[in-house]
Structure 1
Amino acid sequence: MSSCKIDHTIDDVTKKLKEQTPYMNYSLGEKCFNFLSTSVSQADLNELFHLLKKFDLASEDEKKIRIDKLEKLVQ
């Protein structure tokens, strides 16, 4: 993912997750929501936001890469 200088809030990330969950499997969406209910570092919030950003528009290959990164981040 491209690096970004903006720190995303928990609300920003939650909103983005709600927008993108229809485009991912239910289990992964639930893991992401559960992850956000814990104490999440700013770096992890930013990473999660950027993995979710335009998830719906990503190619199938790109989605697979993002899903792998999401799984690792939220486990």
Structure 2
Amino acid sequence: MLGECKLNHSQEDVKSKYESQAEFLPEDMKPLFNQFFAGEHSQELLNEVFHLLKKYDLATADEQNTRNERLYLVLGMVQ
């Protein structure tokens, strides 16, 4: 799955990564990200979302589907 990263990513890091990958993400996921960025989140959650977005555009369709499922789950929980 996703490699463990020792770096902690800020909300700004996550937002920047999201903006670089947004065109490759499902349209109906974008409002969920808007809600996500409106709130405060744990470091663990920020790191997870960052890594789900990292190199999303280079992932296979199967890998993107797997990441999408996890993103919908994570983003859906933080409303």
TM-score, normalised by the number of residues in structure 1: 0.94
- Which deviations, in whole Å up to 9, do the C-alpha atoms of 1:13-47 show, x marking residues without a partner? 00000111100112112212211211211100000
Quote the Cα distance in structure 2 between the aligned partners of 1:17 and 1:34: 13
Give the structure 2 partner of residue 72 of structure 1: 73
Identity of paired residues, percent? 35
Query: After alignment, is 49-58 or 28-37 more displaced?
Result: 28-37
Unaligned runs of 5+ residues in structure 2 are none
Question: How many residues of Structure 1 are paired with residues of Structure 2 in the alignment?
Answer: 75
**Alignment partner of 1:54 is 2:55:** yes
Unaligned runs of 5+ residues in structure 1 are none
TM-score, normalised by the number of residues in structure 2: 0.90
List, as ranges, runs of 4+ consecutive aligned residues in structure 1 with deviation greater than 6 Å.
none
Written as runs of structure 1 = structure 2, the 5 A alignment for 1:1-75 is 1-75=2-76
